Amino acid sequence: MIDIGRPLDLDTVQAFVLIADFASFTRAAQALDTSQAAISLKLKRLEERLGYRLLERTPRHVQLTPRGEQFIQAARSLLLAHERALGDMSVPESRRLVIGISDHVAGPDLPQLLSRLAQYDPLLIIEVRIGSSRDLSAAFDRGELDAAIVRSEGEQHGGEVLVVERFGWFAAPTWQHSPGSVLRLATMASPCGVRQLAVRVLDEAAIAWTEVFVGGGVMAVGAAVSAGLGVAALARRVAPAGAVEVGEQLGLPSLPMTEIILHARPTDARSQETLRVLSAAFRGVQER
């Protein structure tokens, strides 16, 4: 029997919601800037308070129990009501977070990333700007962005390394390259850092190349790859569905690993919490 006279602890409710959203104790702990042991203890206290299990967990898998599925909606409503109750003081009821995300980073995981932020902070107005890492880093330095997720191009120091990513040479499965012929490239327009990286390693390997398509974004380059126009240097995560890595087959030089960096400038405690969730969410979607 649940003791309805004793209120729920909001910290334990928030911990439960984050574990469920991330399907990970590790990422939930990162989002709350605490340890996995502390997160596990919060969940245990909440389950003891309610009198039933909310999550089934194994070393590799976390999922809601049927009772957890029922409780999570009420948990979200409780946290939202708490946010609204506190929204009349130092933090406005609705806040805006301006995030820059590199075109080579956004990829198909962007909807899931935004969903994580919206679930954590329903009152948040999210403004996302997609652009080149170079342009977004400059915009962050000018104070135009609260946060930027960009490729490290060696020009800006600091920030949090989210993942280290490998780039490869991708083409359509039906694409054919004649031995000895000039390599046909689909690229983004200069001064794209990935383009510069790709042509540099080709030149160093003395491989003749020519641009057959120049796109204004990764989506356009991916479309050119899918259409069989040529080869593109892309991260596996943003390569178009069905594209295959052809670097080894064609004897192309390896592309170096690159760091994906989060630069953040929180303006208040709540924004700092939200940016931790952004970091944890990005790491989480890369692991799946």
**Across 237-265, average pLDDT:** 90
- Helix 10-22 / helix 110-120 crossing angle, nearest 10 deg: 170
Which ranges of the chain does DSSP label H, i.e. alpha helix? 10-22, 25-31, 36-50, 66-86, 103-106, 110-120, 133-141, 193-204, 218-226, 247-250, 269-286
Tell me the per-residue pLDDT of 218-234, one tens digit each, with 9 for 90 and over: 899 999 999 999 999 99
DSSP state of 231: B
Comparing 40-54, 75-89, 264-278, which segment has the lowest mean pLDDT? 75-89
Could you tell me the two tokens for 249? 């087959």
Percent of the chain with pLDDT over 90: 29
- pLDDT value for 94: 61
Mean pLDDT of the chain: 85
Tell me the per-residue pLDDT of 104-136, one tens digit each, with 9 for 90 and over: 888 778 888 888 888 888 778 889 999 888 889
The pTM is what? 0.73
Q: Which residue has the higher pLDDT, 105 or 158?
A: 105
